[in-house]
Chains A and B, each alone.
Chain A
Amino acid sequence: MTSTTDPQGAMRPAEPYMNPYLAGIGLGLVLLASFVIMGRGLGASGAFNATVAYLELKVVPQHLAANPYLSEYVGDGSSHPLKAWLVFEVLGVFVGALLSGLLAGRVRRTVEKGPRVSTRARLAAAFAGGSLMGFGAHLARGCTSGQALTGGALLNVGSWAFMMMVFAGAYAVARFFRWQWR
């Protein structure tokens, strides 16, 4: 069950989540299908980068030109930066999650946080965490999907090192951020 601060939350109780092992098998089969059909795994942060690269191209092209990492997502300009595999995949993630959420009565507008935390503080933490994540994914060239899940399944040494470090980093600081959920 999700806890929610939204008054609509009382209308229809959300269904419990799926058994984690079953959901894991489902996720694994999707990943396997991606390997078999496409010869590549899943990703997420790449789609964010492509979107940022596209926006910079439209608004501040000289800033983009000075950033070789982002420029890669635009390429030589022969095709639209948003016409990329990961962008379409992430659009699918949105639709798939929405579908699953609707089926289970779990879609409602809310800010997820503990009852004693202000909305503003939670939103600020979410933004800060996202920025750190963006920086980390930039360094490692991938996030939990592209590195840990995909590289992990292919027994990629760097991806396993990455995964261990994600958990190490998270456990090391977790106690300092628990206030968000109390």
Chain B
Amino acid sequence: MLIKRSPNGIELPFSSEITPRAVYEGRRDFIRQLAVGAIGSAALMEMAQREAFAQGVRPKLAGKLNPAYSALDKPTPYKDATSYNNFYEFGTDKSEPAMYAGSLKTHPWTVGIEGEVKKPMTLDLDSLLKLAPLEERVYRLRCVEGWSMVIPWVGYSFSEIMKKVEPTSNAKYVEFISLADKKQMPGVGSRVLDWPYTEGLRIDEAAHPLALLTLGMYGEVLPNQNGAPVRMVLPWKYGFKSAKSIVKIRFVREQPRTSWNLSAPNEYGFYSNVNPEVDHPRWSQASERRIGEDGFLARKRKTLMFNGYADVAPLYAGMDLKKFY
């Protein structure tokens, strides 16, 4: 384990690797100077400062390390995890979310929880933060594209939400809907996917303790490009199953129609569990490249069934995972 533990979370040995934030701050400084110098408007300056706060200095968000759910892999450098992202609402290139997600306003933010539940509710961020004790979990993240990272997330099991809203016996699936606001998200104008981005889980998958409702990473609140202010993290599934910037959670009777499955059903199934034996039509899923670690001189590393999270295997007992990919 390369991260130091402390009573309220971890202390990160990465301070030298956080340069992109300096770049960010530099850019925000520039905007601020522009606002002050060229225009001199107090309102603009205030806006620029608020922006600087939003992206430059990220508030701390500590969680108690949960060793049972923490991988021993070396965490991916913060810089890589925050500058190499798939978040199509901000563009299809992996560098674009870090460039453009600054326009996302994460305050105020509410998540509506509705559908087949006894107690539908709308939760703001404060309520979400207080809903259950925050934990830190170091999860492997396997992208369907064949690369992987290791990220210390901060959040709690999604089952805590379920306890609060009390799904009825009709609730067979959970649907997660992301924000789709063209004004804040330049990529939403594109026709790559049907917006809003929609993901889903079977109810027993959602109830599995590994399914993490996530509010932070690396001991800080989520950066916008990583799905701020609230997202799911499902480490045994390909990354795209973990919806970002969630505004609505619906408990439903039927299997939800999920964005990537609608877009290319032969490539992205509803389950999309990490499975080295089921190829993507255009590439093998048997191996992966760990970002920041595996380079030119290494063969790709083997991908593990369920990304190494064998705990979830009973959820799929008796299912043909080649058919339900």
Q: Do A and B come from one complex?
A: no
Chain B residues with a Cβ under 8 A of chain A: none
